[in-house]
Amino acid sequence: MQLPPLSSGVWGVVATPFSGSTLDVDETSLARLVEHYEQVNVTGLTVLGVFGEAAQLSTEERSAVLETVVDAVELPLVVGITSLGTAPAIEEVRHAKDIVGDRLAGAMVQVNSPNPDVLAKHLRAVHEATGAPIVVQDYPLVSGVAISAESLVRAVRDLEFVVGVKAEAPPTPVSVAALTAALDVPVFGGLGGLGLLDELAAGAAGAMTGFSFPEGLVACVDAWKEGGYDRAREVYTGYLPLVNFEQQAKVALAIRKECLRQRGLIMESSARPPAASMPEALREQLVRHLAAVPVPEVVR
Amino acid sequence: MQLPPLSSGVWGVVATPFSGSTLDVDETSLARLVEHYEQVNVTGLTVLGVFGEAAQLSTEERSAVLETVVDAVELPLVVGITSLGTAPAIEEVRHAKDIVGDRLAGAMVQVNSPNPDVLAKHLRAVHEATGAPIVVQDYPLVSGVAISAESLVRAVRDLEFVVGVKAEAPPTPVSVAALTAALDVPVFGGLGGLGLLDELAAGAAGAMTGFSFPEGLVACVDAWKEGGYDRAREVYTGYLPLVNFEQQAKVALAIRKECLRQRGLIMESSARPPAASMPEALREQLVRHLAAVPVPEVVR
Amino acid sequence: MQLPPLSSGVWGVVATPFSGSTLDVDETSLARLVEHYEQVNVTGLTVLGVFGEAAQLSTEERSAVLETVVDAVELPLVVGITSLGTAPAIEEVRHAKDIVGDRLAGAMVQVNSPNPDVLAKHLRAVHEATGAPIVVQDYPLVSGVAISAESLVRAVRDLEFVVGVKAEAPPTPVSVAALTAALDVPVFGGLGGLGLLDELAAGAAGAMTGFSFPEGLVACVDAWKEGGYDRAREVYTGYLPLVNFEQQAKVALAIRKECLRQRGLIMESSARPPAASMPEALREQLVRHLAAVPVPEVVR
Amino acid sequence: MQLPPLSSGVWGVVATPFSGSTLDVDETSLARLVEHYEQVNVTGLTVLGVFGEAAQLSTEERSAVLETVVDAVELPLVVGITSLGTAPAIEEVRHAKDIVGDRLAGAMVQVNSPNPDVLAKHLRAVHEATGAPIVVQDYPLVSGVAISAESLVRAVRDLEFVVGVKAEAPPTPVSVAALTAALDVPVFGGLGGLGLLDELAAGAAGAMTGFSFPEGLVACVDAWKEGGYDRAREVYTGYLPLVNFEQQAKVALAIRKECLRQRGLIMESSARPPAASMPEALREQLVRHLAAVPVPEVVR
């Protein structure tokens, strides 16, 4: 029996704010950030993803992040799983489930093999050991694994516990089209919203990404549902200069956190090394972009 | 004595149109395409670049391309050099010079080593053997060579025959900022115009790329000069949905050529294998994007 | 005050044997394997390294591996740390220290940044939080991080708690020469012993690798100390056909475990997916190589 | 009708010697080098391959290389084709055929697509335009193209003009086994002979590589034919320390040319930049290896 799929719309990929020279997890900022997400009507949140710097957090810190989010908002949660190996992935899912409980809309597991049988077995093992619904993330830049859309379909199509796919293998609109044509579960775009219009046109159920103005993503997806391309384009175009600025190789995380800080959503914008810090040469332009973004209502 | 630098503005990277099942160079389409470039007031043209599929052309075909362009328009020309090795690069530059003559604004040579001394020696050898002004292209995705901005500055700053740099190592605004701070020659963005606003803010002299609506690039660069960020953003934003659609990994060339075809600028959109062909799943969206692009004046 | 460096010689990188269709950690085989290492007089063991499939083990399984090894032999232990992030690396080192105690000769931490300052800060943070001596592993194929030998020297030379370097960035003899010229701590070769003769000639203190005949590595290093190149070559050459066979891209782990199984050192040769399994096409050749290896004394 | 396949045995991949500060092609050394190959009874020569630095040579220099080799020896020749594009590859093959004529045993064309249909069409186009027998080179490190053995078989099996395959996608013995099981044409190992014993065991027809002691390759292949594994191992093992030393990432070309120089087969060992030069740290070891190699008869 197919588990209920992820709801369509925007799933905000939550940054993990740090504070001070010791870069401790800043739970106050984190709570404020996810409350903002709730206010702008995202469908759900994705916590401990790549842009949540999960690979930089200890188990205890991951607990703190999950607890803070669970306490701060009522939204359904997808929890990112960092490990590519089956046994440690199971350990991570169990840990998340202990904290998130019924709020766990899905454990997001990365593609760990180009071989559909190996991948299917991995996903099944994680599900069977934990009972968790599984979201499959195809993000070759991070996983180091390149799978064809055809193989991904073969791996996933008979897995009744897979509740969504996050498609981040460029060209993503092509991937989204192939996946949505062959799968019953929703497929989400990522990559900061760079190709959101095209992913929606290809059948995407929404976006799952960490763009610093989730309002823009929500407005775009809503507009698409109501008015198709023309309406979505009208709504989203004003965000694209910032989207493109933010989704830059190597410095995307630093830019994004600084945007969140300047919006007042987090207190400090530091990322944990070895992540790059905000390039000073881009600071003025960041301010310009933020000033020009079409925010419908002022956010506290 | 420093050779005169490339003029700022937009240098259109010219596609090579093909026709029929044999994919012969379509000189008629090529002439029409570059005439369009001239009509929309680009500063110059870049011929035989990566997106001109130079690596797919025989020597004879390269001659035909250069001759066609030289005959069709009066614009200054940058000619792309495919080889990374010194001796074959010299051979290519000589060949180009024989045809282009005084119209050769620069031979565009790729970075072939992360070592500044090795690179400088390569560039000097090419210049000394040919007398050609040199444009340096830093495009690691194609060359396979990753050089730091610092090393690129060290390689280039004392070379009086270098007349421009094309910066295509992401994050390009950071590279452009570093290069323009240390070099006297103009630095151009590329990559389809994806980061043009940010590259201009970082000091870029313009864009050198093959976006299918060079009008948009010209309008953006002109607006930047006149009114800075706000004006450029206003003008350029409407192009960004198509820019992002076009500049997709693996399928950018196919999309771009199909856009040019639908605009009536070339007769057929085929690219030479092993380049990917236009994904059918993207065709409808391409039409939508083209219909929505803000073309100021109708093109024949 | 400089912590005492690792002893020179051979550090055996210990495989993790699994059993049955569930691929549980086979502690009996593991104990037998490390006892063999002790019998053949290795200097110490490296546990939970890349070839120990540490990235495939849960925390509980890592405990079991460490406990088994600690109980089975008296050898000093280097413990591999899988995470590249500081906080989770600290968590891993603490976990290892809890089990291994004073037997911890070093926590082996991977290079996580090409920037020497970032790397030094990471190493210092791990040491200061745990008190553990640190072995630095430069293995770009696994870490995804390429650091120059010059930067590695700058990162490491003033860190009094670094007790060794494992140099696995090809060409390794060149790296070893650069590192041993500038550092006081021992540098070890890896990569299955493929370049052991050349690494020793470049100043390596020995080998830290998982070749299935550690006898050969020990004999080679001993011979080098006694008689230099000629003696080491004489001793080692007979192992090279197997070394080269074993150290093949993608299938090295599978081959190595099958060699260990055929030697009777472990019961089953399975590796955890997505690791490749033993190619059937190579099985006969494996048998031939094993039959021809110059084992001085028969091992049960 | 299937063209006659390449003869089994050793095809020496010929280095291009340079002389002086201008690094001109040294035709005298080249002639001496190929005469040595003939004396040691190689089956044929591969000229203008990757290790012949073909990508660093002008058309005129390529002519000089081919003419020198044609004049100096009677051996059949495989000519390496540098371009991955169809049109320039055809141009290269025509150029080679003009000089080599009937001595052209094959034009060695690189895999340029992972898609078997695209690759087959490319190979067919090159053959049909030139009449040349085709040797297919699968060398992903150089071509940047990774094709599965299955796809390579599908591409090649019905092409009656393919006369051999050079398998250089590690793990090569696995590739060789898959290719020889499905194809009628001979498959050759490369990569400096690192896996020669295993490639022969997998069905390879011989080696096509540039190891500085082709005597060793010839002796190994001959021994394999006569006495199988045991005999080949006995003969080849003494060369393995030098094989491994020579076949090092990044510096293989420099080491190989210096070995050839020290053997007296070429006058100077320089390679054209950006190729690395011989690391001084390895020089002593090179001398040791050369002194220890089991040359049956002294070569002038």
Q: What is the pLDDT along chain A (300 residues), one digit of tens a residue?
A: 789 999 999 999 999 999 999 999 999 999 999 999 999 999 999 999 999 999 999 999 999 999 999 999 999 999 999 999 999 999 999 999 999 999 999 999 999 999 999 999 999 999 999 999 999 999 999 999 999 999 999 999 999 999 999 999 999 999 999 999 999 999 999 999 999 999 999 999 999 999 999 999 999 999 999 999 999 999 999 999 999 999 999 999 999 999 999 999 999 999 999 999 999 999 999 999 999 998 765 443
Chain D neighbors (3+ CB pairs < 8 Å):
B, C
Helices D116-130, D86-100: crossing angle, 10 deg rounding:
40
Pairing of strands A134-138, A44-47: unpaired
Of the CA atoms within 13 Å of residue C54, those in its CB half-sphere come to: 22
pLDDT number for residue B2: 86
Instruction: Collect all residues of chain C within an 8 Å Cβ-Cβ radius of residue D231.
Output: none
pLDDT number for residue C297: 52
Give the mean pLDDT of C232-248. Answer: 98
Least CB-CB distance to C272: which of A57, A86, A119?
A86
pTM for the full predicted model: 0.97
* D130: CB partners within 8 A, 6+ apart: D90, D93, D94, D97, D107
Give the mean pLDDT of C80-103. Answer: 98
DSSP state, residue D195: T
C-beta separation of A150 from A178 below 8 A: yes
Least CB-CB distance to A57: which of C87, C119, C122?
C87
Instruction: Collect all residues of chain A within an 8 Å Cβ-Cβ radius of residue B178.
Output: 281
Which chain D residue lies closest to B58 (C-alpha atoms)?
Answer: D88
Interchain contact, D273 vs B118, CB within 8 Å: yes
Sketch the domain layout of chain A as residue ranges. Answer: 9-238
Interchain contact, A112 vs C274, CB within 8 Å: yes
- CATH fold of A9-238 reads TIM Barrel (3.20.20)
Q: Residues 38-57, chain A: which have Cβ within 8 Å of C? A: 53, 55-57
Residue B88 at interface with chain A, using a CB cutoff of 8 Å: no
Interchain contact, C272 vs A112, CB within 8 Å: no
Interchain contact, A174 vs B251, CB within 8 Å: yes
Interchain contact, B113 vs D55, CB within 8 Å: no
Distance between CA B181 and CA B173 in Å, rounded?
A: 12
pLDDT number for residue A204: 98
Which chain C residue lies closest to D233 (C-alpha atoms)?
Answer: C241
Question: B40 to chain A nearest CA, in Å?
Answer: 24
Pairing of strands B18-19, B24-25: antiparallel
pLDDT number for residue D236: 98
Residue A244 at interface with chain B, using a CB cutoff of 8 Å: yes
pLDDT number for residue A299: 43
The larger pLDDT score, comparing residue C295 to residue D80, is at: D80
Confidence of residue B254 (pLDDT cuts 50, 70, 90): very high
Q: Which amino acid makes up residue B31? A: A
- Locate C100 and state its tokens: 């291994």
Question: D286 to chain B nearest CA, in Å?
Answer: 25
Give the mean pLDDT of C289-294. Answer: 96
Of the CA atoms within 13 Å of residue D224, those in its CB half-sphere come to: 24
Distance between CA D174 and CA D198 in Å, rounded?
A: 9
Interchain contact, D85 vs B272, CB within 8 Å: yes
Interchain contact, B58 vs D118, CB within 8 Å: no
DSSP state, residue D279: P
Question: A206 to chain C nearest CA, in Å?
Answer: 30
Residue D272 at interface with chain C, using a CB cutoff of 8 Å: no
Instruction: Collect all residues of chain C within an 8 Å Cβ-Cβ radius of residue A94.
Output: none
Confidence of residue B299 (pLDDT cuts 50, 70, 90): very low
Interchain contact, D272 vs B86, CB within 8 Å: yes
| Beta carbon pairs, A and C, within 8 Å | 73
Least CB-CB distance to D56: which of B56, B85, B272?
B85
Alpha carbon D176 to chain centroid distance?
16
Residue with tokens 């740090």: A18
Interchain contact, C118 vs A273, CB within 8 Å: yes
Residue C124 at interface with chain A, using a CB cutoff of 8 Å: no
Peptide bond into B171 cis (omega under 30): yes
Name the nearest CA neighbour of A243 among A189, A297, A175, A205. A189
pLDDT number for residue B12: 98
Residue C87 at interface with chain A, using a CB cutoff of 8 Å: yes
DSSP state, residue B239: G
Interchain contact, A58 vs C122, CB within 8 Å: no
Long-range contacts of A90-98 (CB under 8 A, 24+ apart): A90/A125, A90/A126, A90/A129, A90/A130, A90/C58, A91/C58, A91/C59, A91/C60, A93/A126, A93/A129, A93/A130, A93/A132, A94/A129, A94/A130, A95/A59, A95/A62, A95/A63, A96/A48, A96/A62, A96/A66, A96/A132, A97/A130, A97/A131, A97/A132
Interchain contact, B171 vs A197, CB within 8 Å: no
- Locate C50 and state its tokens: 């890349």
Q: Is the pLDDT of residue B297 over 60?
A: no
pLDDT number for residue C3: 92
Which stretches in chain D have pLDDT values below 70?
Answer: 296-300
Question: Residues B74-98: pLDDT tens digits?
Answer: 999 999 999 999 999 999 999 999 9
Interchain contact, A288 vs B229, CB within 8 Å: yes
pLDDT number for residue C296: 62
Residue D41, Ramachandran bin (φ over 0: left; ψ between -120 and 50: alpha; else beta): left
* B114: CB partners within 8 A, 6+ apart: B145, B146, B147, B148, B151
Which of C282, C283, C293 is the best substitution to test chain D (most D C-beta atoms within 10 A)?
C282
Q: What is the DSSP string of A89-104?
A: HHHHHHHHHHHHGGGE
pLDDT number for residue A296: 62
Name the nearest CA neighbour of C120 among C134, C106, C141. C134
* A205: CB partners within 8 A, 6+ apart: A6, A8, A9, A164, A186, A187, A188
Residue C146 at interface with chain A, using a CB cutoff of 8 Å: no
Which chain C residue lies closest to D240 (C-alpha atoms)?
Answer: C240
Q: Chain-wide mean pLDDT for chain D?
A: 97
- Locate C228 and state its tokens: 């230099």
Percentage of the residues of chain C whose pLDDT score is greater than 70:
98
C-beta separation of D207 from D199 below 8 A: yes
Question: What spatial distance separates the first Cα and last Cα of chain B, rounded to whole Å?
Answer: 44
Alpha carbon D104 to chain centroid distance?
15
Instruction: Collect all residues of chain C within an 8 Å Cβ-Cβ radius of residue A86.
Output: 56, 272-273
Name the nearest CA neighbour of C37 among C5, C9, C2, C4. C9
Confidence of residue C2 (pLDDT cuts 50, 70, 90): confident
Least CB-CB distance to D274: which of B57, B112, B272?
B112
Give the mean pLDDT of C152-181. Answer: 98
pLDDT number for residue B300: 35
Whole-angstrom CA distances from D41 to B248, D17, D147, D164 are 52, 21, 33, 20
Facing residues of B207 across strands?
A: B10, B189
DSSP state, residue B278: P
Residue B63 at interface with chain D, using a CB cutoff of 8 Å: no
Whole-angstrom CA distances from C290 to A13, B109, C279 are 52, 52, 16
Distance between CA B125 and CA B131 in Å, rounded?
A: 10
Task: Indicate the SS3 state at residue D12.
Answer: strand
Question: Residues A32-87: pLDDT tens digits?
Answer: 999 999 999 999 999 999 999 999 999 999 999 999 999 999 999 999 999 999 99
Question: Residues C176-232: pLDDT tens digits?
Answer: 999 999 999 999 999 999 999 999 999 999 999 999 999 999 999 999 999 999 999
Cα-Cα-Cα-Cα dihedral sign, residues B16, B20, B21, B22: negative
Instruction: Collect all residues of chain C within an 8 Å Cβ-Cβ radius of residue A84.
Output: 55, 274
Residue D201 at interface with chain C, using a CB cutoff of 8 Å: yes
Residue A277 at interface with chain C, using a CB cutoff of 8 Å: no
Interchain contact, B233 vs A245, CB within 8 Å: no
Distance between CA B48 and CA D271 in Å, rounded?
A: 29
Instruction: Collect all residues of chain C within an 8 Å Cβ-Cβ radius of residue A58.
Output: 87-88, 90-91
ipTM higher than threshold 0.90 = yes
* C243: CB partners within 8 A, 6+ apart: C192, C193, C194, C196, C211, C216
Name the nearest CA neighbour of A245 among A281, A219, A299. A281
Facing residues of A107 across strands?
A: A79, A134
Interchain contact, D55 vs B144, CB within 8 Å: no
Burial annotation D56-75 (CB, 10 A radius, 16+ → b, else e): bbbeebbebbbebbbebbeb
C-beta separation of C44 from C14 below 8 A: no
pLDDT number for residue B15: 98
Interchain contact, B229 vs A285, CB within 8 Å: yes
Which chain A residue lies closest to B291 (C-alpha atoms)?
Answer: A230
Interchain contact, A251 vs B171, CB within 8 Å: yes
Residue C8 at interface with chain A, using a CB cutoff of 8 Å: no
DSSP state, residue A250: T
pLDDT number for residue D299: 43
Distance between CA A194 and CA B245 in Å, rounded?
A: 9
pLDDT number for residue B296: 62
Which of A58, A59, A110, A145 is the best substitution to test chain C (most C C-beta atoms within 10 A)?
A58
> Which regions of chain D does DSSP assign to beta strands (E)?
9-13, 18-19, 24-25, 44-47, 77-80, 104-110, 134-138, 162-167, 187-189, 206-209
Name the nearest CA neighbour of B70 among B32, B106, B103, B98. B103
pLDDT number for residue B295: 73
Residue with tokens 């291994």: C100
Question: C100 to chain A nearest CA, in Å?
Answer: 21
Which of B198, B230, B255, B278 is the best substitution to test chain A (most A C-beta atoms within 10 A)?
B198
